[in-house]
Copies of this chain bind each other. A is one copy, B any other.
Amino acid sequence: MSKASATASSAPKKIHFWFEFASTYSYLSAARVAKVGKAANVEIVWEPFLLGPIFKQQGWADSPFNLYEQKGRYMWRDMERLCDGYGLPFRRPDKFPMNSLLATRVAMLGRGEEWLPDFARALYHANFADGQDIADSATLERILAALALPSDDLIARADSDENKRQLREQTERAAQLKIFGAPTFSIEEELFWGNDRLGDAVVWARSGGSL
Contact = CB atoms under 8 A, between A and B. Distances in A.
Contact of A73 (B74, B178, B204): B178
A178 B74 contact: yes
Interface residues of A, number: 24
A74 B194 contact: no
Contacts of A77: 190-191
A171 to B, nearest CB: 14
Question: Which secondary structure dominates chain A's binding surface?
Answer: helix
Nearest to A75: B193
A69 to B, nearest CB: 8
A26 to B, nearest CB: 17
Interface in A6-28: none
Interface string A179-198: 11000000000110110110
Interface of A: 58, 68, 70-71, 73-74, 77, 81-82, 84-85, 178-180, 190-191, 193-194, 196-197, 200, 204, 210-211
